[in-house]
Amino acid sequence: MTEMTKPRPKFLTLYQIRLPVAGIVSILHRVSGAGLFLLLPLLIYTLQVSLDPQPAAVATFQSIKGNFFVQFLLFGLCWAYLHHFCAGIRYLLLDLHIGIEKSGSRKSAMIVFAVSLSLTLLVALKFLGVM
């Protein structure tokens, strides 16, 4: 009896693999959820400081809010929340068998990126006082 041998898989490097847009949205959905969970203590502390009416607490909040790194982190968390929310709606629609075709899946993934980035930009403009 002759044994059928399959060709061995190639060694793939990660930078050669091209994920579809829906795969990138899926990975970012997981990363944004984990980031939101891990940075929840920072968000709760910031909320606590912002709600304290004492003048010292208001000065502390203003100094925290004025730091560039903290603003960058808060905008990143804002994007993570909005991306996680929009991608979650996309997955609910996929569970209802809406947009499960290849073209519909690609289109909904692009919409998730567009909506989450544009809403983050609007929040950042409002936060910086431009709007």
User: Which CATH architecture is the domain 22-127 placed in?
Assistant: Up-down Bundle (1.20)
What is the reported pTM? Answer: 0.81
Give 14 or 80, the one with higher predicted confidence: 80
CB of 125 within 8 A of CB of 36? no
Tens digit of each residue's pLDDT (9 = 90 or more) over 75-117: 999 999 999 999 999 999 999 999 999 999 999 999 999 999 9
CB of 86 within 8 A of CB of 112? yes
From CA 32, how far away is CA 82, in angstroms rounded?
9
Tens digit of each residue's pLDDT (9 = 90 or more) over 17-61: 788 999 999 999 999 999 999 999 988 988 888 888 888 888 888
